[in-house]
Structure 1
Amino acid sequence: MDEKLKQIRDALDRIDKNIIESLAERQQVIQQVSSLKIEEQGAIRDHEREEELLKRITKLAREYGLDRYFAEQLYRDILDHSVRFQTHSLVDHQNVKNKQKSVSVSYQGTEGAFSHQAAFRHFEERYTEVNCYGYDTFKQAADSVMEGEHDYAILPIENTTAGSINETYDILGEDNLYIVGEEVIRIIHCLLALEQIPIDRIRRIMSHPQAIAQCSNFLAKLHRTKVESYIDTAMAAKKVVEDGDLSQAAIAGAHAADLYGLNILERDIANQKENFTRFVVVAPDPIHCDPQISCKTSMLLVTGHQQGDLVRCLNVLADRGINMVKLESRPKPNEPWKYQFYLDIEGNIDSPKVGDAVKKIKDKASSLKILGCYPTQMSWHSEE
């Protein structure tokens, strides 16, 4: 039984290796396609060809006795990844002055943190070398970009469980930084410890306040356990290793467990299983997005204090059929009881419709700051 099972698993390992090799080979071809389209100014998406491909895939799946719906969904993900790569390639071609092969990115936390993983997710395929530098605070990470130490900073801005991350909004409002990209990843929180011991033996759990908030239901059941805020999820995992205390644990991702040699006592402990964090990539200068790219435009709006001032500004978007996907209010610094509003809308600011709307809003508002126009992320990615 054991020997037969081993042989079967060995066969699966060989097949999995072949799948990865084929995907890597396909990606090399996609790079060639992307370069040719940029050279000849071709369209990134060919919807007719995509539909033809999906029809061929479902037909092949039926012929080989494979679930055709599974095969179609798999290839939709592959196509989304292809479009994502081509979009980033076009943005880099049109905006990056020095075609450097390496990039420097700052983030809050340490190696293994979700921000660290998001940075690699965003840049790894675009650059030969991605150098990431962790800081204690979001502000320090942002300042390092303003001071020219790094090319970009990646900052979490909202989570589907814990809500908005106000410090990032405040940084965008106060600093001269622009959003040039976004990354949305699924966050899978795990309880990590030195050894595979019963959870009721854990007396102290450490993690970032956001992670603690996202796992509050799980933690509420541990009546004999003290929960403590720590500067970062990965740093909490590292602290568990450094202390060498079997009664301590950390909430972090599976990547941190691999990195620091910890055991996963419980996996996926967040209140909501569909737990996503959206990150924004910021830089000292805005970027230009080609009209064919699906874009999001972020703005900071300050209205007057008369009744209906905000509504009049928002009606400008509605009247032009522009979809607003985010509206967030924040207190205006040093002006008690006054507020500014962060808006995300679908559309490219260089398009006539969005450009005209922005001009009209400026006429009605006390002030309007464009925080950036950047490609909309097409699909989310799981991080553990």
Structure 2
Amino acid sequence: MSSDLQSTRERLDAVDRQLIEALADRQELIDEVATAKANNDEAGTDRLANVHDPEREAEILDRLREKAREAGLPPSLVSDLYERIFAHSVRHQVDHLLEAQNPDRAAAEELVVAYQGSDGAYSHLAAENHFGAYAEALTCRGYQTFKEAVEAVEQGEARYAILPVENTTAGSINETYDLLADRQLHVVGEEVLPIRHCLMGPEAVPTRSLERIYSHPQAIAQCSDFLASLDGPAPQTYLDTALAAKKVRDDDDPAQGAIASRHAAERHGLHVLEDDIANQPENYTRWMVVAREAVQCDERLPCKTSLVFSTRNEDGALVQCLGALAAHGVNATKLESRPQLHRPWTYRFFLDIEGHAASDEVAAALDDLRDEARDIRVLGTYPSPRTPGGA
């Protein structure tokens, strides 16, 4: 290696260190902002109103795009980078404010989070992303099934479990909804991540030379168009995406491939044969975080409330239940139906609504819903500052 190239790489390394230090300095300032908001004693709703300020973000992005042009950088590069930074800042402020109301959340020496899958699975990545502020105390523990992850929380082996509930391509994960209804746990948070599926193998071979491709059923469904275009390899279901990658690595058979994240490919030393193979590029999965105890959440934080209810056996019963929400201006963001066990042709409904269960509008809507529904259980109110890929 030439001395000039080595010198240039050393200067690049120094710039990278400066970028990390600058991000750390920025986070310290975000801490100061969050502390100021939490300690502001002014009356009214201004104290937490600007945890997420889209107008200020838009102004900053416009200014930074112009700075990028002046520096000869693509404005889109700066926009993409700062949108991630803003999202992290909002999350960091919400975590700070939650800690103020839930001191035990920050005091734990070890924070164990259960998930279905293995090291490098998407649920593992979602757990690390959601609890990133507690990285030093965080232990993510994988289980073979969603049920086992939930039981870990019930039995005190884990404080939280993170469960996928829906994907923008493949739809809802029914098993999670059934577990939410049958177990006495509380929804205390949500996580939304972009899902970028890759096809990987032990050797850099042509895609059409593969004979078998392993992955989780949800990943296979999300990549069905790509798999159909290959007209050859048979998709094989596996426990999770990361375990599929591990199997392909361990078998070391060039005729085998796996669909998983790029992170899993790197972790298991596999070659990425095709990138971004999902049916649609806007591919997101949403997880719910559950715990034995409900989270205390300030009413002025942007929140969601999740609940499950069943209707009376009457004409128009569901319409009347939803009308109780509409009458109070409460917006529903998700409605899911699931059959009730031992009661053929009867259903329970899962509903996500915007707002805090204790706010005037939502509380009044829930009171009216109780009058209309046969039964209702609020699963939890939790922070929901923004939804990637959404409005």
Whether the TM-score (by the shorter chain) exceeds 0.5 is yes
In structure 2, the residue matched to 1:298 is: 306
How much does 1:65 deviate?
Answer: 5.6
Give how far 1:62 is off: 6.2
Aligned to 1:92: 99
**Equivalent residue number for residue 44 of structure 2:** none
Contact 2:95 2:133 in 1 (8 A): no
Using the TM superposition, name which of 83-92 and 113-122 deviates more.
83-92
**Cα offset, 1:151, TM superposition:** 0.3
Aligned ranges for residues 175-190 of structure 1 at < 5 Å? 175-190=183-198
CA distance in 2, matches of 1:315, 1:12: 60
Is 1:43 aligned to 2:51, yes or no? no
Report the TM-score when normalising by structure 2. 0.89
User: Counterpart of 1:366 in 2: which secondary structure?
Assistant: strand
Q: Does 1:83 align with 2:90?
A: yes
State whether residues 90 and 385 of structure 2, in contact with CA within 8 Å, keep that contact through their aligned partners in structure 1. Answer: no
Aligned to 1:328: 336
- Answer yes or no: is 1:278 the counterpart of 2:283: no
Q: Is the 8 A contact 1:101 1:127 kept in 2?
A: no
Larger mean CA deviation between 32-41 and 173-182 belongs to: 32-41
C-alpha deviations, 1:124-164, integer Å up to 9, x for none? 22342210111110011011101111000000000011100
What is the CA–CA distance in structure 2 between the aligned matches of 1:193 and 1:71, rounded to whole Å? Answer: 33
Contact kept in structure 2, 1:191 and 1:264, CA below 8 Å: yes
Match among 277, 295, 298 for residue 287 of structure 1: 295
Cα distance, 1:59–1:261 mapped onto 2, change above 3 Å: closer
Deviation at 1:221, TM superposition (A): 2.5
Q: In the aligned structure 2, how far is the partner of 1:315 from the partner of 1:4?
A: 71
2:134 aligned counterpart, secondary structure: coil
The structural deviation recorded for 1:241 is 1.4
Instruction: Structure 2: state its 5+ residue gaps.
Output: 42-46
For 2:226, give the aligned amino acid.
F
Shift of 1:373: 0.5
Q: Counterpart amino acid of 1:348?
A: H
> What's the TM-score once normalised by structure 1's chain length?
0.91
Amino acid at match of 1:20: I
Match of 1:363 in 2: 371
Following TM superposition, by how much is the alpha carbon of 1:70 offset from its aligned partner in structure 2, in angstroms?
A: 6.0
Q: Is the Cα contact below 8 Å between 2:309 and 2:373 reproduced in 1?
A: yes
Q: Is 1:44–1:86's contact at 8 Å kept on the other side of the alignment?
A: no
The structure-2 alpha-carbon separation of the partners of 1:250 and 1:365, relative to structure 1 and needing over 3 Å to count, comes to same
**Aligned mates of 1:252, 1:76 — CA distance in 2:** 25
Asked if 1 retains the 8 angstrom alpha-carbon contact of 2:249 and 2:270, the reply is yes
SS in 2 for 1:302: strand
Q: Secondary structure at the match of 2:48?
A: coil
More displaced 10-residue stretch of structure 1: 16-25 or 183-192: 16-25
**Cα shift at 1:93:** 2.4
How many residues align? The count is 380
1:349 is paired with a residue whose SS is coil
Q: Contact conserved, 1:80 with 1:379, CA < 8 A, in 2?
A: no
User: Within 5 A, what are the aligned runs for 1:224-243?
Assistant: 224-243=232-251
Q: CA deviation at 1:4?
A: 8.1
Whether the aligned pair in 1 keeps the contact of 2:328 and 2:364 (CA below 8 Å) is no
Q: Secondary structure at the match of 2:277?
A: coil
CA 7–265 in structure 1, closer or farther in 2 if over 3 Å, else same: farther
Greater mean alpha carbon deviation, residues 90-99 or residues 222-231: 90-99
Q: Which residue of 1 aligns with 2:263?
A: 255
The answer to whether the 8 Å contact 2:334/2:353 transfers is: yes
Structure 1 range deviating more: 31-40 or 193-202: 31-40
SS at the partner of 2:125?
A: helix
For 1:276 and 1:52, locate their aligned partners in 2 and report how far apart those are by CA, in whole Å.
Answer: 27
Distance in 2 (alpha carbons) for counterparts of 1:212 and 1:59: 42
> Which residue pairs with 2:160 in the alignment?
152
Identity over aligned pairs, percent: 47
Report the 3-state secondary structure (helix = DSSP H, G, I; strand = E; otherwise coil) of the residue aligned with 1:330. strand
Compute the displacement of 1:57 (Å): 4.1
Residue 335 of structure 1: SS of its match in structure 2?
coil
Task: Tell me which residue corresponds to 1:32.
Answer: 32
Q: Aligned AA for 1:374?
A: Y
1:40-75 deviation digits (Å, cap 9, x = unpaired): 454362748667755754665565465667656654
Residue 202 (1) aligns with residue 210 (2) = yes
**Is there any run of 5+ residues in structure 1 with no aligned partner, and where?**
none
Deviation at 1:377, TM superposition (A): 4.2
Q: Give yes or no for contact 1:322–1:345 (8 Å, CA) kept in 2.
A: yes
CA RMSD of aligned residues (A): 2.5
In structure 2, which of residues 117, 125, 128 is the aligned counterpart of residue 117 of structure 1? 125
2: CA distance, partners of 1:40 / 1:101:
29
After superposition, the C-alpha distances for 1:287-345 in whole angstroms (9 at most, x for unaligned) are: 12112210001110111010011111111111111111111111012211000111111
Residue 104 in 1 paired to residue 104 in 2? no
Q: Which moved more, 1:241-250 or 1:361-370?
A: 241-250
**Does 1:169 pair with 2:169?**
no
